[in-house]
């Protein structure tokens, strides 16, 4: 097994390519995992994308993976491919701290169902990626693990709450990260770090973390450098489980026959320029317009849409902050100011709402779902910028600030958590500051594959996967 490429080229292999090379005995899983772990060891501290690095276990798994290849055993679709797992997913025998002082020494005795499925597919966990405390905010820093930085500029934020996963993928610390998204937490860091991030249809992937499964608005999903890698991960992870009742319905996947290759003739795209945000930076707008022009040049019909819709920002805050109060309020009394101050702020806000406030917000959520469904009577996809700006300064930079002060940071994203529609962020270009920008693609329920297929068209029209951050 001797593939002639530099370690740096090896680090930026797509998972699809790496898995094929391993299967064909052209790439050693041992050499591959060693290269990733060496990169984490040398460049990782500056980015701070990992809460825990599982080097010893990863190397042992890589040796077993190599033996299986040599023996001609049946191999999974991700055999020998390094992955990172967000520090919200339970992992047997490996610390899962949830980014929190509350669980700083917590070691689960079981694997989350998605971790099990990645293992069954042959993936090798190289570490647990960082998250803010309990994944509660849109940048990634925590009282336990510090600040996670953007590989494109270490003075900038990686986004959150799956910031460690996105930063790891962007920096070449493995081609796949498993993240979660409750109000944009996959798509925010994907947009900020210039990678692909998919929040699937509610129920497309099991979500074991939900404390209230029936009112859940969060989802697990992949962060990758290429759209094909995201699709491959979805194939490995999708399927029902009794843990999550939303998966049991087994919705019928949608496949648009007119979405074929790069010919978008007959594809209707609705562009939403503003949602709950009032502004978009000029450079983000420029890259969004250029991407929409590229799609129109390929035959798509692109029209502005969504004017007049109430995106229920206040109702969303009620639902979100009330959950923080119920879930984490008990920790406030015991741990006090050892908790993240933003989490304390959210808990305190949540404590002020009445039952009437909460139920009214739930009704508004239903109304939003029906409004978005109405848009899909007119178009096949919705598109927006992922974020209204490029990544802000990291919170410990001289001009850094907490996300609670960043008005509109997730304005394009949280509505589709509440409505359950699949939504992906794909890179759209770079801003004036050299940092990535993103385009969000949203589809009807169960159109996850079509959302990624349209993302692949964007990837083809405006390539990005060959680009590497200066930290490499």
Close Cβ partners of 133 (under 8 Å, ≥ 6 residues apart): 98, 99, 100, 101, 142, 143, 144, 339, 340, 343
**φ and ψ at residue 8, rounded to 5 degrees:** -65, -40
Cβ-based burial of 108 (10 A; exposed 0-12, middle 13-18, buried ≥19):
middle
CB atoms within 10 A of CB 109: 7
Alpha-carbon span 260 to 255, nearest angstrom: 10
Question: What distance in Å separates the CA atoms of residue 255 and residue 267, rounded to the nearest whole number?
Answer: 12
Residues annotated as catalytic (active site), given as ranges: 86, 161, 185
Residues 36 and 72: beta-carbon distance below 8 Å = no
Are 431 and 194 a contacting pair, CB within 8 Å? no
Phi, psi of 36 (to 5 degrees): -65, -45
Report the SS3 class of residue 199.
strand
Cα distance between residue 155 and residue 141, in whole Å: 13
């Amino acid at each position: 097994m001797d593939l002639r490429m530099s370690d740096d080229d090896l680090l930026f292999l797509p998972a699809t390519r790496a898995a094929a090379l391993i299967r064909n005995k052209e790439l050693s899983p041992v050499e591959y995992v060693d290269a990733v772990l060496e990169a984490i060891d040398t460049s990782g501290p500056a980015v701070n994308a990992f809460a825990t690095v599982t080097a010893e276990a990863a190397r042992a798994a890589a040796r077993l993976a190599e033996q299986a290849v040599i023996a001609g055993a049946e191999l999974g679709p991700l055999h020998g491919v390094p992955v990172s797992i967000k520090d919200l997913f339970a992992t047997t025998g490996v610390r899962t701290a949830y980014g929190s002082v509350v669980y700083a020494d917590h070691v689960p005795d079981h694997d989350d169902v998605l971790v099990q499925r990645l293992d069954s597919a042959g993936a090798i966990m190289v570490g647990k990626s960082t998250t803010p405390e309990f994944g509660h905010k849109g940048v990634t820093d925590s009282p336990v693990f510090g600040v996670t930085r953007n590989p494109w500029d270490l003075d900038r934020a990686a986004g959150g709450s799956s910031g460690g996963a996105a930063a790891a993928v962007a920096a070449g610390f493995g081609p796949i990260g498993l993240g979660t998204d409750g109000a944009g937490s996959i798509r925010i860091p994907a947009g900020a770090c210039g990678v692909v991030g998919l929040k699937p249809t509610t129920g497309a992937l099991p979500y074991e973390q939900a404390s209230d499964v029936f009112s859940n608005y969060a989802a697990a999903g992949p962060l990758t450098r290429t759209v094909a890698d995201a699709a491959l991960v979805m194939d490995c992870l999708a399927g029902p489980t009794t843990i999550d009742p939303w998966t049991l319905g087994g919705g019928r996947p949608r496949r648009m026959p007119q979405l074929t290759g790069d010919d978008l003739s007959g594809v209707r795209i609705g562009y939403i320029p503003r949602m709950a945000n009032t502004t978009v930076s000029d450079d983000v707008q420029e890259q969004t317009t250029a991407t929409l022009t590229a799609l129109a040049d390929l035959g798509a019909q692109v029209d502005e849409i969504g004017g007049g819709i109430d995106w229920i920002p206040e109702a969303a805050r009620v639902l979100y902050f009330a959950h923080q109060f119920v879930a984490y309020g008990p920790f406030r009394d015991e741990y006090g100011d050892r908790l993240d101050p933003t989490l304390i702020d959210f808990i305190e806000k949540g404590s002020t709402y009445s039952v009437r406030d909460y139920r009214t917000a739930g009704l508004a959520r239903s109304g939003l779902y029906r409004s978005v469904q109405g848009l899909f009577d007119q178009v096949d996809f919705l598109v927006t910028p992922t974020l209204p700006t490029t990544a802000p300064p990291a919170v410990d930079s001289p001009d850094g600030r907490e996300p609670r002060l960043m008005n509109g940071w997730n304005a394009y994203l949280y509505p589709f958590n509440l409505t359950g529609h699949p939504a992906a962020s794909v890179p759209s270009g770079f801003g004036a500051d050299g940092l990535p920008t993103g385009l969000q693609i949203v589809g009807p329920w169960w159109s996850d594959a079509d959302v990624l297929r349209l993302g692949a068209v964007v990837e083809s029209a405006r390539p990005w996967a060959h680009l590497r951050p200066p930290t490499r």
